[in-house]
Amino acid sequence: MARFARVGAGLSGAAATFGANALFSGGDAEARNARALKEALGRLKGPLMKVAQMFATVPDLLPVEFATQLAELQTSAPAMGPSFVRRRLSAELGADWASRFASFDLTPSAAASLGQVHRAVAHDGRPLAVKLQYPDMQSAVESDLSQLRALLVLGRQVFGAVDTREIAIEISERIREELDYGHEAAAMTLYHQFFAGRDDIVVPRVDPSLSTARLLAMDWLDGRGLQTFKDADQGTRNAIAGKLFEAWWTPLIKLGVIHGDPHLGNYSFSDDATRLNLLDFGCVRVFPPSFVGGVVRLFRAMIEGDREGEAEAYRAWGFKELSNDLIDVLGIWARFIYGPLLDDRVRTVADGVKPGEYGRREAFQVKRALEEKGPVTIPREFVFMDRAAIGLGSAFLHLSAELNWRRLFEASLAGFSEEALANRQAGALREAGLV
């Protein structure tokens, strides 16, 4: 109840500021409004702040003032002070927590929606990143999720073409997983083992001796954010995009797992852009091999014009009661998502479409078609797969990358079979401690 009241008060306060700015602020009202919204969401933290991060990732989705302010929430949200840090460390590591480190910086280097990160040094000289969860996040998340479920129920009533119940279940389970740093440590270990031996895609190692369910210690990786490379030469931007593509999609094809939160704060690069640091493993989605088989099957079916193959892929994803009309509707969105993979040529992701219009036409077509042909229940596995695809596409748009995306995807499919995937997945999950 307290969280519900805080959310209402915080957003109401931002709304009141909007009204005052409209009356008295003159030409900079938009900038003031954007700052007010960022400050309100930064104080609230939790899932609402994660939604703002996602919106800020998509180019031209928001007015530039709002996108600029909300993008700061990805790594520089309002942080908790030193007294909070001391209390949290004492609660997790004991009153003698300071003796566990050679040094610990009480000023956070980054603050996000569920926790903040501090620099520290281990006694053996290793630089560490220590992630501390904010207090009372469990209750905050449950409160926000209850409000989200209410909004999705309302949306189902207003826009009856899409049944959102599976969406609500999926989002709830994934966000709850993000609160369990033990689960995140296992997911990080999975990715570290997958990319072991490489120096171009690097995943931090967990320090289990300094980690708990709400505190996570790992290697500190120096790097620059993607936005700092927007004005780099085309070759550099293309190389960055190629590494991002491999870091997200190769684990899906080989292990059936995907990093489900590809916003701009979850990766960084070396100064010369030859190394990608993959960060934040709170939202790693494990898929059944049949789902990944559907991803591959749909790719091949669309290239070959195989309508029945498309239908089989949608069934593998969990779509049910597929009529021919519904297959056509799903194909509109599938051809948008898969579009760059279907052309055997060098192109941008948007291919001439303005960033602000990217996906809008297809979304409008799907909405209208479902109003006539629907309804459809979105399978839960589809939610974060779609989110990852949109988020990664947004990063490519920020970079204006030009690559042969089809060749990249086909390279990742070498030797693919559902049986081989199932065997690799079972072994990798077991070794990382995810099962």
356, 146 Cβ separation under 8 angstroms: no
SS3 348: coil
| Confidence category of residue 66, pLDDT binned at 50, 70, 90 | low
| Confidence category of residue 73, pLDDT binned at 50, 70, 90 | low
| Confidence category of residue 24, pLDDT binned at 50, 70, 90 | very low
Higher-pLDDT residue of 158 and 137 is 137
Higher-pLDDT residue of 349 and 102 is 102
pLDDT above 60: residue 11: no
Report how far Cα 239 is from the mean position of its chain's Cα atoms.
21
Which amino acid is residue 160, in one-letter code?
G
Residues 178-193 have a mean pLDDT of: 95
Beta strands 276-278; 267-269: pairing state: antiparallel
pLDDT computed for residue 16 by the predictor: 47
pLDDT computed for residue 406 by the predictor: 96
345, 404 Cβ separation under 8 angstroms: yes
User: Any alpha helices (H) in 129-232, and if so which ranges?
Assistant: 137-158, 165-178, 181-194
379, 317 Cβ separation under 8 angstroms: yes
Taking Cα atoms as reference points, which of 92, 88, 66 lies closest to residue 79?
Answer: 88
Is the bond preceding residue 375 a cis peptide, omega within 30 degrees?
yes
Structure tokens at 170: 């999926």
The pTM is what?
A: 0.82
> Model confidence over 74-85: pLDDT tens digits?
555 567 889 989
Give the whole-angstrom CA distance, residue 159 versus residue 147. 18
Taking Cα atoms as reference points, which of 223, 204, 218, 205 lies closest to residue 275?
Answer: 223
> Model confidence over 255-302: pLDDT tens digits?
999 998 777 778 999 999 999 999 999 989 999 999 999 999 999 999
pLDDT computed for residue 58 by the predictor: 47
pLDDT computed for residue 28 by the predictor: 64
pLDDT above 70: residue 69: no
pLDDT computed for residue 425 by the predictor: 98
Q: Percent of the chain scored above 90 by pLDDT?
A: 49
pLDDT computed for residue 40 by the predictor: 58
Residues 222-251 have a mean pLDDT of: 94
Which amino acid is residue 402, in one-letter code?
E
> Model confidence over 419-430: pLDDT tens digits?
999 999 999 999
Q: How many CB atoms lie within 10 A of CB 97?
A: 18
Domain positions in the chain are 2-73, 160-205+222-435
Higher-pLDDT residue of 344 and 137 is 344
**Strand (E) or helix (H) holding 201:** strand 201-202
Structure tokens at 89: 């460390």
Interacting residues of 163 by C-beta distance below 8 A, sequence separation 6+: 156, 375, 376, 377, 378
By mean pLDDT, which of 23-27, 28-32, 227-231 is the weakest? Answer: 23-27
Give the whole-angstrom CA distance, residue 395 versus residue 345. 20
Q: Percent of the chain scored above 70 by pLDDT?
A: 76
Give the whole-angstrom CA distance, residue 225 versus residue 194. 23
| Confidence category of residue 6, pLDDT binned at 50, 70, 90 | low
Helix, strand, coil: what percent of the chain each, to 5? Answer: 60, 10, 25
Please name the residue that has the structure tokens 């602000």. 356
Q: For residue 377, report the phi and psi dihedrals to the nearest 5 degrees.
A: -95, 120
